[in-house]
Each structure stands twice: as structure tokens, then as C-alpha cells.
Chain A
Amino acid sequence: MASPVVAIVGTGQAGFQAAASLRQDGFAGRIVMIGDEPVPPYQRPPLSKSYLARDSGLDELWLRPESFYAQHQIEVLARETLTAIDRTERRLQLASGAELSWDHLVLATGARFRPLAVPGAELDGVLPLRTLADADILRERLDQAREIVVVGAGFIGLEFASVAITRGASVHIIEVTQQPMGRVVSATISRFFTDAHRRWGAEVSLGTGVRRIMGAAGRVTGVETTDGQYLPADLVLICVGVIPNAELARGAGLAVDNGIIVDEYLATADPRVFAIGDCANFPTPFATGRVRLESVQNAVDQGRCVAGQIAGKPAVYDKVPWFWSDQGDFKLQIAGITVGHDTAVLRGDAEGGHFSVFCFRAGRLIGVESVNQTADHVVARRLLAGDPRLTPEQAADVSYDLRAHTRSVAAR
């Protein structure tokens, strides 16, 4: 029998991890990664943080040096785009005209920036932040920008805003909901960060959308909001979420609903086809129902999980989700998925900027959001991996020893 071929579509963190873990797990077949970007696999989180701020450079972005791929016999087809998946013949059609046969297919296609469907969105100076190329453009533009409008107060928008404000530009953040980062954090954390951005000098308009973007000679000059404000701007960042890259999976007859539908082994209905990372919609014990998560943890742990299945060590995917965001002096760390909590209790010193919000649903701890409070985050990750048995009263009581609690629960 010829040695098996694993085709990995996507060269982001998930695709990279799947390839690296396959080799680590002793997979001896051929591994081919296909990605449309012109560069080797890199980390995305710094693009809106240290890389954007020029506190770190390209060397710190690469997941591995280029020599790693040759050394581990991982073929990386850069600047290549998948055009069709043939599941019957187990073949991929590539934009270059090449074809690739596969035995296992890992879809790590990620997600793409969601454009804003308003007049003027095509003007020069209206920019996304998703890829290294995007970040390089923003780095340059930030040097000259005087008036910046950030459309969308999610992680990326707020991280970008916290870097931009340090450059002396005016920053106006507009958010269509009443709650920045509201899709992922509690009201307490949302409010804390909204206040922080205002304190740092940004304007924040909530419940506000974009009616149109205005320009002159092809360049952006301002934003007209849905509540009738006119905000002058020479740079507009659009960060209103992403669209999972699932069209090719759908075209191949695989189920798609907010991402590519997979089971608890991260397999699609076709047991030879997996989906991981930002593009995968999977069942999880950490939420009610299915989720699609955009995070390093999710990409890495799912890449590892799928590599294990292909290498003959199948295991259900059940890792505790975690996330982080850096904004100004604050590091936000989240363990678990707090969406859908019915009770949120504060632990620590919110005024002093060292605290956590413990989130419960039906009496059970489902997630913890920590601000400059890594010790709580560590405890939370431990607790959520098992049965937390923590009450809201215990969580709120700073004299209650969480580490001792974690040990006692683990010992049970």
C-alpha cells in the first residue's frame, strides 16, 4: 500500500498544529499544507497587539522557521488556493491547475474578515485586520493617521484601539450593540473595558452603526453613523466579525451551519474529512449545544486532536476553552465559555484592576473572566476540566482559598 497522504487546507495555527502533531505522533505518510498566503504559517494574535504596536517583529510571528517544514517533510504550498473538493475520488483541485490526491483531509480554512455593506466601504483608508498583510498596511497607516474610527468593539477592534490611542491619534469606537465584546464576555467585563478605553482617551459610541463612509478623491474622510453623527476620519478599521470559510465544504456536500459541522471527534459526516479551528462548528461540554470558536487554544488543541485520530490514537475533543486579550495595561484571560450564564459574581479588586468574574449557569461554574489576575485564571482552567463544585458564594469570598478548593475537588 502506498503511504497515506494527509492534505491540510489552511496554513494558520490549526493547520500548522495538525501537521506538526502528525509528525510528533509518528505519522510517516505525506503531509501537504495548502494556503493562499505568501508566507509560512504565523501567529495571528500579535497582529492586533505587539506586532501592530511595533513591539515585536516578523521573527516573533513565525510559528516555526522555514527550515522546520523541510526538516519534518511537511510540504507547504503557499500562494495556492483550493477550488474544489472531490470526496468520491479523494482529490483536491487547486487554483494553479494542480490536483492532489488525499487519504485524509483536514479543513483548517479559518475565517475571513466580514466586510461592511455600506456605501463608501471601498474607499482607500477603510481597512480590515485579519492577515499579516493587513497588519503591515495598518502599521504604516498608523504612523500618519490623525483621526481613527474603529467600527466594531470586539477583541480585535478594542486591541487595535488601545494601540492606536498611544500614537496620539484621536480614536472613536462605534459599536452597534450596547455591550463591547458582548458576544463573549459578561456585562461587568464589558463595562470595565468600555470605561478603560474612555479613560485612555477614546470616544465610545454604543448602539451606533455606520450609515455610510464618506470620501474625497477616493480617500476616506469620515463616517456617518446611524444616529446622525459625522465622524471625521483618515483611517477606518472595520472589525465586525468574520465569516467562516466553509463554502468549499458545502460544495462537497458537507453540512455547514456557522462553520463546517463536525462531531465530537472533529470529523464531518465523511469520516476521512475533518474540520478544525475557526472554521469548525463542534459540540462541546462547555456550552449548551454547538460552538465555533476563534482562538489559539481551539486551533492548537483541535489540530492535535485530529492528528491523533489520523495517527491511530482517536480521542474525543473535550479541551477547556481559553482566550486572552491585551488592551492597554490590562490582560483579560477567559477560561470556559461564559455566554449564557445566569449568575456572575465578582472576586477581587475591580477598582484596582485586579479581579475576576465567575460565571455560573444553574448553579454550576461555566467560565471565569480575569483581569490582571492570572492566579484565578489558572484555578478556573483546572476547575473547569473536572467538576468544579464551586458555589457563587465561595467564588465571591476572597478569603475562600480557591487553590485548596481545586486540590480538594481533584482529590475526590
Chain B
Amino acid sequence: MPQITYVHSNGTRQTIDVPVGTSVMRGAILNGIDGIVAECGGEMMCATCHVYVEEDQLGRTPTQSDDEKAMLEFTASERRPNSRLSCQLVVTPELDGLVVYLPETQV
């Protein structure tokens, strides 16, 4: 099963097995990782599952939709070029080893 590493804003790392087809957001919620809020449950109506993707892994992540780009305007923490909504990062075998950094705040 692909492994995803979540890095908290204090630097703590947690690596979790996330099944293929499950989003990086849902993987965090199901494993009790604080730092992902996911208010709308993955409907792209909020931006509280914001993560920063490890820069050199950006190319492996699925393309950003216009809707995701629009909704990223609502991030509570600074939006950067590697900002993503983790509900849109659906895990595939290619995403094994993905590292995402959790922002300081989601709201």
C-alpha cells in the first residue's frame, strides 16, 4: 500500500499507509492526523485540507483543476506554488512516498 508522509508544522513526521483510491485528505482524517480539518468533506467548497507538496514531487501529483486553483484562494495559511488541496490528491501507486507539509493553520 502506498505510504504518505505528513509533516506537521512543528516538524514532526507521520508516515501512513493510504490505500489506492483514497485521498491524502481522507488518509489523514482516518488516521487522526491533526492539521487537516476538511470542513466540507472533500467537496472543494473550502480550503481546510491545504498542504504543501514536497517541491521535487510536484510532478508526480495529479493536475490541478480550475476549481481547485480557485478554492486555494481561501487557504488560511500562505498560498505557495506547491499548495494543494489534499482532497484532490487521490492516492495512486505513483504517489507512494509522497511527502506533504501541513500548514500552521487551516482556519
Contacts and interface: CB of A to CB of B under 8 A. Distances in A.
A67 B43 contact: no
B41 A374 contact: no
A378 B47 CA distance: 11
Interface string A34-52: 0000000001011000000
B40 interface: yes
B39 A71 contact: no
Nearest 6 A/B pairs, CB to CB: A374-B67, A374-B70, A378-B70, A375-B70, A43-B41, A300-B39
B75 to A, nearest CB: 12
Interface stretch (B1-9, B24-32, B52-60, B95-103): B24-32
Interface stretch (A58-66, A162-170, A269-277): A58-66
A300 B66 CA distance: 25
Interface in A342-381: 374-375, 377-378, 381
Interface residues of B, number: 20
A192 interface: no
B72 to A, nearest CB: 9
A52 to B, nearest CB: 14
Given A304-B107, A374-B66, A378-B71, A45 B41 contact: yes
B35 to A, nearest CB: 11
B76 interface: no
B45 A324 contact: yes
B29 A45 contact: no
A304 B76 CA distance: 15
A46 to B, nearest CB: 7
28 contacts: A43-B41, A45-B40, A59-B30, A60-B41, A60-B42, A62-B29, A63-B29, A64-B29, A64-B32, A65-B30, A67-B32, A68-B32, A71-B32, A296-B39, A296-B40, A297-B45, A300-B39, A322-B45, A324-B40, A324-B45, A374-B70, A374-B71, A375-B66, A377-B70, A378-B70, A378-B71, A378-B73, A381-B74
